Structure 1
Amino acid sequence: MAVILSSDNDFQEVINSNQKVVVKYYADWCGSCRLFSPKFKRMSDDENFANIAFVDINAETSPEARKLANVTNLPFFAVFKNGQLLDSVAASKEEAVLALIHKLDA
């Protein structure tokens, strides 16, 4: 599945219309964020995660979405289940993000 590019305008709708969502918060100036993008795209294409929506959101231009997950650092990842924040992590390691994603099935 393609990574959904979201903003404050449609973020609530995206997390409420998908049962399981993983969000990557990034900024254009963040080198680690750019380096993680291909990994995030690969995860979104993984058939094991076919029932999960993958969302990219610019933390600088979407303050409301940023507040919902209490973003502290970038890149920052959060998982939402049934519209509610389940957990989050500030990391640039694939293993940390995969562990976060697996919490959606717990």
Structure 2
Amino acid sequence: MATVELTTENFNEVVNGPGVVLVDFWASWCGPCRMFAPVYEKASEQHQDMTFGTVDTEAQTELAQAFGISSIPTLMVARDGVVVYAQPGALPEPALADLISKVQQLDMDEVRASIAAQQQQQ
């Protein structure tokens, strides 16, 4: 599956949907972003049951600002509409594979309960 270009128009619909969604915040001038792109594309081909999206931070400045993106590439992962990972830095292929595996193993009921407990403490 090819990656999906995410914009302010389709971002919420894609990311808040069911399943696992990976989002790569990048820019064409960014060397580490260009190095990470083939790793990300290969993972998208290996995991066709997931959605792999990209956000061009130059073209989609509103999205980059909304998520506080100050360093690229930044990888964000959402599962069933809940952001479960967001870190800057280009991941090597084994680290990305490990992250995907861990996200697949998450107990989302447990994650939602943890989020609800944190919100009650605030």
Which category describes the TM-score, using the shorter chain as reference length?
A: 0.7 to 0.9
Give the 3 Å change call, closer, same or farther, for CA 4–63 of structure 1 in structure 2. Answer: same
Give, in whole Å, the separation in 2 of the partners of 1:81 and 1:32.
25
Q: CA deviation at 1:60?
A: 2.7
Amino acid at match of 1:44: S
Partner of 1:88 in structure 2?
A: 86
**Larger strand proportion, structure 1 or 2?**
1
Give the 3 Å change call, closer, same or farther, for CA 98–65 of structure 1 in structure 2. Answer: farther
Q: CA deviation at 1:90?
A: 1.0
Partner of 2:31 in structure 1?
A: 31
Sequence identity of aligned pairs in percent? 26
Alignment gaps of 5+ in structure 1: none
Give the 3 Å change call, closer, same or farther, for CA 83–43 of structure 1 in structure 2. Answer: same
Give, in whole Å, the separation in 1 of the partners of 2:29 and 2:65.
20
Higher relative contact order (CA 8 A, sep 6+): 1
Whether the aligned pair in 2 keeps the contact of 1:89 and 1:96 (CA below 8 Å) is: no
Whether the aligned pair in 2 keeps the contact of 1:89 and 1:100 (CA below 8 Å) is: no
Alignment gaps of 5+ in structure 2: 107-122
What number of residue pairs does the alignment pair up? Answer: 104
**Which structure: larger Rg?**
2
Q: Does 1:44 align with 2:77?
A: no
